[in-house]
C-alpha cells in the first residue's frame, strides 16, 4: 500500500506558508480575471448564488446517496492510481461549512477543471496551486470550504483534496436534471495544474491521471462516461469559464479507454490469431499481456468461473468481465486466483514460488478445465 498521509502538522505549516503568501495570491487572483481560471477564485464565485441554501435538509446520514470515500479510493486503486490523501480529505466539517451536508443530493456529473494560474507552463511548479487548493476558501460565515475534490499536479500525481460535497462549479446552466447554479451539490471536480486560458499545456501524465480519476469517480457514482463534462460546458455562459482547453468528447474518449481497460491497447497492436474452433483450446503464446483475442477471452472466462467457485473477489479484480483484452485486470485476476489456489495446497504453493503470478502456464490452463495448445 503506497498511500501517504500528510500530517495535520504538515497541513498547518502549509496554511501558515499560504498566509505568508497572501499578497501573491491576491495579485494572481487579479491576473486570472483575464483568463478566468479557477486559481484564487472568490468564495462567492466558487459557491454560486446558492451558497447559503441547502437543497433539502435531511438528518439521515446513513442513507446519504453520495459515493463513499472507500468506494472512490477502491476504484482509483483498481486503475493503478496511488493517490496522496491530503489531511482532512473526508472530514465532514468542510461539507457542513459549504452548507451542503444533509442535502441528500445524488452525484450526476464529474467536472474537469484546470487551475488556470496564468503562470506560463514552463514556470509552473509541480504543485503550484496545491497550497491554495488545500487552504480552500472562506464561506460568508468565515468557515473554510475546500475548492475541489481531486487535484492532479504537473507530473500526474493525484491528490485527494475532499471526497464529500463541496464548491468547485459555481453558477452555471441546468443540465442532467440538476437545476441551474446547483452543480456543486451534484458533482465532483478535478482540478488539473495548468496555465489556463485555453492553452493546451497539460502533460501526458496529467491527461492519463485525470482520465483515471474521472473514470474512478464515475464508477463510484455508477454514472456513464457521458456524464464527464468540462467546467466551461456548465459555466461557460454564466461565468465565462474556458477550462479545460479540450472538449468533453475528447476527455470522454480517454475516460472510456480507462474504463474498458483498453488504454494500454493503443501501444500494442491486436495480434492476428487463427483461433481453434474447440472452445476449450487456449493458446499459451497468444494469451499474454497487451494482446486482444479469443484465447484471452476464453482464459478470462475460465478464471472468472473458477474464481467465483472459490469465492475469490472476482468483481474487484476484474470489474469489466471477459473483454478479450489482456490488461491490468486480467493480471490481477490471475494473481487472485493463483493466490487462492495456494491455500493449504503444497502443489500450488510450489507453483506460486516458481511461476509467474500474472500470466498463465500449462498447469493453470488445465486447472481452469481448458486445454493448453501452442
Ligand atoms: Zn474550473
pLDDT tens figures, 184-223? 999 999 999 999 999 999 999 999 999 999 999 999 999 9
pLDDT in tens, 242-252: 999 999 999 99
Give the start-to-end residue ranges of the domains of the chain. 8-260, 281-373
Separation of alpha carbons 219 and 196, rounded Å: 28
For the chain, what's the residue count? Answer: 374
Q: Averaging pLDDT over each range in 13-22, 256-265, 324-333, which range is the top one?
A: 324-333
C-alpha 111 to ligand 1 mean position (Å): 8
Residue 228: in which H helix or E strand, if any? Answer: strand 228-230
Share of the chain above pLDDT 90, in %: 67
Instruction: Please tell me the distance between residue 274's alpha carbon and the centre of ligand 1 in angstroms.
Output: 49
What would the DSSP string read from start to end of 177-245? Answer: TBPTT-GGGTEEEEEE----TT-----HHHHHHHHHHHHHHHHHHT--GGGEEEHHHHHHHHH-----S
Ligand 1 centre to CA of 143 (Å) is 22
What is the CA(295)–ligand 1 centre distance, in A?
A: 45
Nearest to 96 by CA among 139, 136, 134: 139
**pLDDT above 70 for 61:** no
Q: How confident is the model at residue 263 (pLDDT cuts 50, 70, 90)?
A: low
pTM of the model: 0.62
C-alpha grid cell for residue 32?
Answer: 486570472
Whole-number Å distance, alpha carbon 46 to ligand 1 midpoint, is 9
Ramachandran class of 298: left when φ > 0, alpha when ψ lies in -120 to 50, beta otherwise: alpha
Determine the distance separating the centroid of ligand 1 and the alpha carbon of 117, expressed in angstroms: 11
The 8-class DSSP code of residue 271 comes to P
CA of 190 to the centre of ligand 1 (A): 8
Q: What pLDDT score does 156 carry?
A: 95
Kindly tell me if the per-residue pLDDT of 308 is higher than 90.
Answer: yes
- Ligand 1 mean position, distance from CA 258 (Å): 23
CATH 3.40.80.10 for domain 8-260? yes
**Distance between Cα 82 and ligand 1 center (Å):** 24
pLDDT category of residue 56 using cuts at 50, 70 and 90: low
> In this structure, are residues 152 and 213 in contact, taking their beta carbons and an 8 Å threshold?
yes
Report the separation in Å between the CA atom of 172 and the middle of ligand 1, taken as the mean of its atom positions.
11
Burial class (CB in 10 A: 0-12, 13-18, 19+), 100: buried
Q: How far apart are CA 37 and CA 115, in angstroms?
A: 6
214 C-alpha to ligand 1 centroid (Å): 15
Task: Please give the distance, rounded to the nearest whole angstrom, from the Cα atom of residue 148 to the centre of ligand 1.
Answer: 9
106-154 pLDDT, tens digit each = 999 999 999 999 889 889 999 999 999 999 999 888 999 999 999 999 9
Amino acid at each position: 500500500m503506497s498511500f501517504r498521509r500528510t500530517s495535520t502538522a504538515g497541513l498547518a505549516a502549509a496554511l501558515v506558508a499560504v498566509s505568508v503568501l497572501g499578497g501573491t495570491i491576491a495579485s494572481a487572483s487579479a491576473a486570472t480575471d483575464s483568463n478566468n481560471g479557477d486559481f484564487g477564485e472568490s468564495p462567492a464565485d466558487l459557491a454560486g448564488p446558492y451558497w447559503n441554501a441547502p437543497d433539502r435538509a435531511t438528518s439521515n446520514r446513513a442513507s446519504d446517496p453520495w459515493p463513499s470515500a472507500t468506494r472512490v479510493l477502491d476504484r482509483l486503486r483498481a486503475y493503478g492510481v496511488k493517490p496522496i490523501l491530503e489531511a482532512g480529505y473526508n472530514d465532514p466539517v468542510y461539507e457542513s461549512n459549504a452548507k451542503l451536508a444533509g442535502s441528500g443530493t445524488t452525484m450526476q456529473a464529474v467536472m474537469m477543471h484546470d487551475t488556470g494560474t496564468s503562470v506560463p507552463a514552463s514556470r509552473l511548479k509541480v504543485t503550484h496551486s496545491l497550497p491554495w487548493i488545500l487552504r480552500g476558501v472562506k464561506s460568508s460565515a468565515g468557515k473554510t470550504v475546500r475548492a475541489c475534490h481531486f487535484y492532479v499536479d504537473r507530473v500526474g500525481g493525484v491528490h485527494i483534496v475532499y471526497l464529500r460535497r463541496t464548491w468547485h462549479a459555481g453558477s452555471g446552466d441546468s443540465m442532467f436534471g440538476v437545476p441551474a447554479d446547483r452543480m456543486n451539490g451534484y458533482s465532483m471536480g478535478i482540478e488539473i495544474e495548468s496555465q489556463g486560458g485555453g492553452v493546451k499545456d497539460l502533460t501526458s501524465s496529467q491527461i492519463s491521471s485525470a482520465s483515471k480519476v474521472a473514470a474512478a469517480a464515475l464508477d463510484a457514482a455508477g454514472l456513464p462516461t457521458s456524464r464527464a463534462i468540462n467546467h466551461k460546458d456548465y459555466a461557460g455562459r454564466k461565468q465565462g469559464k474556458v477550462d479545460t482547453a479540450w472538449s468533453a468528447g475528447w476527455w470522454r474518449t480517454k475516460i472510456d479507454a480507462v474504463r474498458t481497460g483498453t488504454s494500454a491497447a493503443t501501444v500494442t497492436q491486436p495480434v492476428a490469431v487463427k483461433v481453434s474452433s474447440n472452445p476449450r483450446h487456449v493458446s499459451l503464446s497468444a494469451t499474454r499481456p497487451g494482446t486482444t483475442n479469443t484465447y484471452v477471452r476464453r482464459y478470462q472466462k475460465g478464471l472468472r468461473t473458477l474464481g467465483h467457485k472459490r469465492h475469490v473477489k472476482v468483481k474487484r479484480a476484474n470489474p469489466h468481465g471477459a473483454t478479450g483484452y489482456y490488461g491490468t485486470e486480467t493480471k490481477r485476476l490471475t494473481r487472485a486466483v493463483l493466490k487462492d489456489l495456494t491455500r493449504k495446497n503444497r502443489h500450488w504453493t510450489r507453483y506460486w514460488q516458481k511461476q509467474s503470478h500474472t500470466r498463465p502456464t500449462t498447469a493453470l490452463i488445465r486447472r481452469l478445465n481448458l486445454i493448453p495448445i501452442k
